[in-house]
Amino acid sequence: MIMGIGTRRGVEESEVLSAIFSALKDASLSLTDIECFSSSELKSDESGLLSAICRLGSSIYFLPDDALNECDPVSPSKASRFGLKGVAEPAALALSKNKKIIFPKKVYGRVTIAIAE
């Protein structure tokens, strides 16, 4: 499964980790169920996001706008102001095998999480 993550600017590592573990609990999954994380290239310089994924010993892929916009999210998104259909759901869908959202986006403070299989 792929976990898509969207964040607000300046998010802290602790916020990202808290959101990840809350989403896993809400989805009845464990960290070992997640193959990798993905997000928008717009988030590639977010140190809190990068350090959280590093702390987990996992990988995150930052996808270009066109890859995100090829995927149709199941939930509306405020990312349209950046010319995107969304971040968390499209990022999860883009790298998933079955292209199916199993955990629609949920906002945890300044972090949004979605999971696809």
Residue 80, pLDDT score: 66
Q: Given this model, what pLDDT does residue 79 score?
A: 74
35-62: pLDDT as tens digits: 999 999 999 999 999 999 999 999 999 9
Can you give the pLDDT at residue 40?
94
Mean pLDDT over residues 19-43, rounded? 97
When divided into structural domains, the chain yields a total of 1
Per-residue pLDDT of 72-94, as tens digits, reads: 777 767 776 777 777 999 999 99
Q: How big is the CA angle at 29 (ends 10 and 19), to the nearest 5 degrees?
A: 15
| Residue-range definition of the domain harbouring residue 101 | 2-116
Of all residues in the chain, what percent are helix, strand and coil, respectively (each to 5)? 40, 25, 35
Predicted confidence (pLDDT) at residue 68 exceeds the cutoff of 80:
yes
- The answer to whether the pTM exceeds 0.85 is yes
**What pLDDT does 76 receive?**
65
Identify the CATH number of the domain in which residue 76 sits: 3.30.420.180
State the Cα–Cα distance between residues 9 and 16, nearest whole angstrom: 12
